[in-house]
Chain A
């Protein structure tokens, strides 16, 4: 830092006269700028580098995600259980409301601000391109969600090992759980960002994300329950394709050794499971594409 001391008899505005210094150092270019934006957005998703008030909600939700896991493992250790009472892959599905709240609050924060205050042109007048901006925001949001959903799994896994449960079993379950929440993070981040990027109003964004996540889940599980009552279990399998969390449920039931939370446990097998995977990947890629389209328009 340059010395800013000014002789006392001078007035403060004479500081102007300190000469201009040119910057001769390195310019790290596009990839560095993309990483910086990613880091800033990821930190922002937990309120870091923002006001104290905006740290409360994400930190609280993070704690809410972790506490049940901590309770589960302490019970498992204290009572010498043979296996954890909750599967790794089931945990996120159980706490989907918390995940939904978190992403509904943070996705609009990540994208609506730049739209609302028209900061976007400042980004695009710098070395980065549209794809860098979208990738950084998408990556940051998915990483923030992954942190939120993987942290309790780490607690469960650590606890399971401390309780001396079977190492191979637990490691396999843990790995499957990580893949599952990884996919969930990408899917939820994509869908929420697309919704949030439509409106520069943060409040609308929050409401719309919650609505899409909960209404779709509510509708799907209701119709599934009705179908189950009428013994059309084949329909139950396919209905899961219509809400984000049930897509994840379907994929992990088919391929990640999870037991389905669909009514009666009628999750998709390998055949329908492949469709679930295709839909899942299609949604992730599709939301990236939609974001690209959106930001190509709002350029300068």
Chain B
């Protein structure tokens, strides 16, 4: 059972190749679509909605062919654009009712579904006021509501957390999670913030330059790659305790590296070592190494690898992207 299936899907414009033989199957659930700006995310969404023909290859959404059944696809898919798309002079209720009718809902059903949907996205009294006076967070909720109002089987959300403050972001991420768990609607969400996708997605698809870089479940990204953060004191014998410990761990056959700033949102520290955990014996080896050097142990804590770290090692060639991701995660 797949929600979206593409088969060597390509889209070429006169000067650029936006998608390059992309083959990916997306199953029900929340799927994150990651890629730098210009990686082909928007082009992919356009093709999936049946609004732009592919240069070659095929794609199916909910089992419907995008080339021939675009109208049927758009009837059971919701789309939330990245940019502002709301007229300021009408109320959220009027606007969403109109959009529900544009999706084919009869007038009475459109009103009922609008009331339900606005409540689900967390808009109450303010839904009768003109949208022009809403905060960014409220506008994002209206945009989400218009994508959900016709009870689609799949929603495509383009950068839904753009422009939100941390609290608004948390709310939106929670809402996206609930779209799947509570409403039973599959979600394809694009973002360049990996930390967000890690929290909401079951599955992550990474595209770069129109090519599929990686497609795997979020747990694959994060499991079994636990690491241990270790901080030690310096002593007279070892003026740089961290370096001494690193050397000792290397001798013991363990992989240790200084904590980089940003990967998990923690501040950089020259005094923090990340040690890959290979099993229970790793903890003993670290303890023994520290005791052998006579250093003081400040802290030793378990860390999960974050998706971002994996990507930054995936994309060795593109430093700028790695940095961009790291910086972006910091903001979460």
Q: Which residues of A contact B (CB under 8 A)?
A: 1-2, 4, 12-13, 15-16, 18-23, 25-30, 32-33, 36-37, 40, 49-51, 113-114, 117-119, 121-129, 299-300
Contact = CB atoms under 8 A, between A and B. Distances in A.
Report whether over half of chain A's contact residues are helix, strand or loop; otherwise say mixed: loop
- The 5 A-B residue pairs with the shortest CB-CB distance, nearest first, are A23-B151, A125-B79, A27-B104, A36-B101, A20-B183
B65 interface: no
A299 B89 contact: no
Contacts of A33: 101-104
Contact of B104 (A2, A21, A28): A28
B120 A113 contact: no
Given A20-B120, A122-B85, A27 B105 contact: yes
Interface stretch (B108-116, B253-261, B313-321): B108-116
A124 B105 contact: no
Given A12-B124, A16-B120, A117-B88, 9 more contacts: A20-B183, A27-B103, A33-B101, A40-B98, A113-B87, A125-B74, A127-B71, A127-B103, A299-B52
B81 interface: yes
B188 to A, nearest CB: 13
A28 B105 contact: yes
Contacts, number: 119
Given A122-B146, A300-B51, A117 B106 contact: no
B81 A300 contact: yes
Given A21-B116, A27-B150, A125-B51, A32 B87 contact: no
Contacts of A121: 79, 81, 85
A220 to B, nearest CB: 37
Nearest to B43: A300
B122 interface: yes
Contacts of B151: 22-23
Given A22-B184, A117-B84, A125-B79, A15 B119 contact: yes
B199 interface: no
Q: How large is the interface on B (under 10, 10 to 19, 20 to 34, 35 or more residues)?
A: 35 or more
A25 B85 contact: no
A28 B51 contact: no
Given A12-B124, A15-B119, A119 B87 contact: yes
A21 B184 CA distance: 10
Given A15-B119, A126-B74, A26 B106 contact: yes
Interface of B: 42, 45-46, 49, 51-52, 71-72, 74-75, 77-79, 81, 83-90, 94, 98-99, 101-106, 109, 112-113, 115-116, 119-120, 122, 124, 146, 150-151, 182-184
A26 B108 CA distance: 11
A123 B146 CA distance: 11
Specify which of A36, A113, A125, A300 lies most central, judged by the most chain B CB atoms within 10 Å of its CB.
A125
B167 to A, nearest CB: 14
Nearest to A119: B85
Contacts of A126: 74-75, 99, 102-104
A117 B86 contact: yes
A192 to B, nearest CB: 20
Contacts of B119: 4, 15, 18
A222 B90 CA distance: 44
B122 A25 contact: no
Nearest to B86: A117
Nearest to B46: A300
A28 B106 contact: yes
Nearest to B132: A117
B280 to A, nearest CB: 42
Contacts of A118: 81, 83-85
A18 B88 CA distance: 29
A127 B74 contact: yes
A36 to B, nearest CB: 4
Contacts of B112: 1
Nearest to B153: A22
A13 B101 CA distance: 28
